[in-house]
Structure 1
């Protein structure tokens, strides 16, 4: 994945979501009569600015990692007597709360729109049919077997592997067992119980399905090179698209999965790769690449298979809804993603989930680039998740965030008067420290994922 693609996708994604968040504050402030002095996206050096006819300055800065809406406020400077009714601090509590909540609220609305668009556009999903089930794994103990299709998790219908993963995360975290409904190839439905506690916290598993012993069905793919990764070991050695790989390091290869297993077991090794090209047998000396992972290093050849569409016949389904039906689907998806995010945050605070789940800008940029290259629907899904995370993060009761200001307003409502400026300033300092620690942990996690096993 190109670093440039990651960077561009990250800037576009974060810039868009920050702009939406700040526009929520801006739009509601204007509606309740507060004067907005500045609407700014980004920090650092201003690269563009314009003053509108309404007197608001609109600005774009060089670092798209945030933004702000500056409103008229007597606590930040002198305000002319004729303008005091338009100052933020002069507004009733309900109006100030509405302005503060509008930023996160617009993030949730955007996620709702993104999920609605995905539902209307439609997606082609791989049915959650099981391939080989690992012996003596939680899946095998539950009675799951190859060829069964998972049709429900915890009572909720699952149409794809994405649905299965989401339900496992949402319902499995904190629970010892999960109910599954499967359908056998001959149409018989069975209800099973999966022991998820046996593998520890699901949120810490990079491969939840593998940890449970589940392997999605896959077709038998011929070991024919469909595409070579530029600069990869195979391309460097001289392999070309269309080569049929028949042996690696002397081990026969009869299908693509065998090739994967043989290569993965030899990280960094120099091996002979035997291929059949135009009816002739040829050998190439290849130094395999090395990929670091939690379970140790694995080898990489740098090739992708040639897969015929007919290989997936009957295993794909199109999931699509009309504009009205998509509203219910989008609402459910937004609620489920929001609830899962809150649940994981709570579990990180209580120690039931690891802080390794936190992601920083590096990891987010990688996901942004990957989703953008996969197409509109994956990028929209990525934007929806990040938008929800941004909304929930800003609602945390931490001073300097929207949730912290809402907390101050709640205290003011209970006391009948606001906190002193000194108390609020102390709270802001504490909030900055907490936010700094949060970002430090997220950045550390990014580096740990990037440079080695975590």
Structure 2
């Protein structure tokens, strides 16, 4: 078992992971805004007091804040960093021409959408580089062996069966199979297989097992109880690298959606929700394993950042997109008061979620147990 990396290393790894992802995200907003002639007053990586910064010839203040938990672009006409529409009475003619909130709704929609999309594009680029260098994991989803008394054995799976789908999700490789099964411990699923050339369907209750990673952290995961053939890394033609990277990113995003859905319906514990502290710990751990593992984690974090920002929560990009959709349907924006209350509610929700995940993170670190032993 590997020892946990020191705190200073975790902090550096977290900043090196989150900083570029936030920069890419905000640069997506900024570049599309520039394309539409929208002016930017501030481009910030991090929140809080400015550590370092400079102002470019267009008047944009580029800066780094002391709290590395996100970032923002404040456009001309914005009331604050959350892009709440400001009062345009004090804007001169040149500022009105560059004001974000005075642009057509479809332009504002694309500017906001560009941030999450930039994160997905970064993940696609990282996977494309891996697939071009090492090949794509594509082990056939054919059962090589079945463990006795396992979930697979109880369902009647046999060696040489090809698993083609689980709950309607295609499993074109053993890697797809693992991705779907791991997040479904104790869940009953429908499995589509091909046996001796004939398609069949089986009802399977996936097993559960507690495993530990290289650092001794324990997780409950789903287990089917089948063995695979030797792992295959397939070299892809240049024309297939990008499409396969897009598909790989989509499947990982689908797993995140499935995981969130399981938490919402109660089939997965809320203890599995992690926050910034857990992300920092994981970043430090993966960095100690090498650059390959760290860049893989960077791609997963990037997908996570893009996905979370698309959730329809005020203060997040998804909340803005929801407002613009309503505006496009109604042909007029929501009232300033309605948007203000929505932003307050979104902020309260995000702060509550941050507190909840921080408590989860501290519990996973064993802080509560240590305090209990000290008190006792």
TM > 0.5 fold call: yes
Match 1:158 to one of 173, 186, 189: 173
Q: State the Cα distance separating 1:323 from its structure 2 match.
A: 3.2
Show the counterpart of 1:326. 241
Q: How many angstroms apart in 2 are the aligned matches of 1:119 and 1:150?
A: 28
Q: State the Cα distance separating 1:423 from its structure 2 match.
A: 1.2
- Given the two structures, how large is their TM-score scaled by the length of structure 2? 0.79
C-alpha spacing 1:359/1:131, structure 2 compared with 1 (3 Å): farther
Show the counterpart of 1:107. 119
Q: How many angstroms apart in 1 are the aligned matches of 2:182 and 2:221?
A: 9
Q: State the Cα distance separating 1:194 from its structure 2 match.
A: 6.3
Show the counterpart of 1:138. 151
C-alpha spacing 1:317/1:213, structure 2 compared with 1 (3 Å): closer
Show the counterpart of 1:90. 102
Q: How many angstroms apart in 2 are the aligned matches of 1:150 and 1:37?
A: 60
Q: State the Cα distance separating 1:130 from its structure 2 match.
A: 8.2
C-alpha spacing 1:139/1:411, structure 2 compared with 1 (3 Å): same
Q: State the Cα distance separating 1:41 from its structure 2 match.
A: 0.3
Q: State the Cα distance separating 1:198 from its structure 2 match.
A: 6.1
RMSD: 3.5
| Alpha-carbon contact 1:111-1:385 (below 8 Å) kept | yes
Q: Per-residue displacement from partner, 1:111-133 (whole Å, max 9, x unpaired)?
A: 11111111112169796898996
C-alpha spacing 1:427/1:316, structure 2 compared with 1 (3 Å): closer
- Given the two structures, how large is their TM-score scaled by the length of structure 1? 0.67
C-alpha spacing 1:6/1:76, structure 2 compared with 1 (3 Å): farther
Show the counterpart of 2:64. 60
Show the counterpart of 1:370. 285
Match 1:391 to one of 291, 296, 306: 306
| Alpha-carbon contact 1:150-1:158 (below 8 Å) kept | no
C-alpha spacing 1:130/1:339, structure 2 compared with 1 (3 Å): closer
Q: State the Cα distance separating 1:407 from its structure 2 match.
A: 1.5
Q: Does 1:81 align with 2:93?
A: yes
Q: State the Cα distance separating 1:452 from its structure 2 match.
A: 7.8
| Alpha-carbon contact 1:151-1:158 (below 8 Å) kept | no
Q: Per-residue displacement from partner, 1:349-398 (whole Å, max 9, x unpaired)?
A: 23343323321122212222232233333222212221111111111111
Q: State the Cα distance separating 1:156 from its structure 2 match.
A: 2.3
Q: How many angstroms apart in 2 are the aligned matches of 1:124 and 1:397?
A: 33
Q: How many angstroms apart in 2 are the aligned matches of 1:334 and 1:376?
A: 20
C-alpha spacing 1:179/1:33, structure 2 compared with 1 (3 Å): same
Q: How many angstroms apart in 2 are the aligned matches of 1:20 and 1:392?
A: 14
Q: State the Cα distance separating 1:404 from its structure 2 match.
A: 1.1
Q: Does 1:206 align with 2:121?
A: no
C-alpha spacing 1:151/1:130, structure 2 compared with 1 (3 Å): closer
Show the counterpart of 2:52. 48
C-alpha spacing 1:192/1:425, structure 2 compared with 1 (3 Å): closer
Q: Which has the larger radius of gyration?
A: 1
Show the counterpart of 1:177. 190
Show the counterpart of 2:128. 116
Q: Per-residue displacement from partner, 1:267-325 (whole Å, max 9, x unpaired)?
A: xxxxxxxxxxxxxxxxxxxxxxxxxxxxxxxxxxxxxxxxxxxxxxx945434334322
Q: Per-residue displacement from partner, 1:166-205 (whole Å, max 9, x unpaired)?
A: 132589997523245699xxxx9997846135659xxxx9
C-alpha spacing 1:153/1:207, structure 2 compared with 1 (3 Å): farther
| Alpha-carbon contact 1:120-1:326 (below 8 Å) kept | yes
The number of aligned residues is: 344
Unaligned stretches of 5+ residues in structure 2: 79-85, 210-217, 370-376
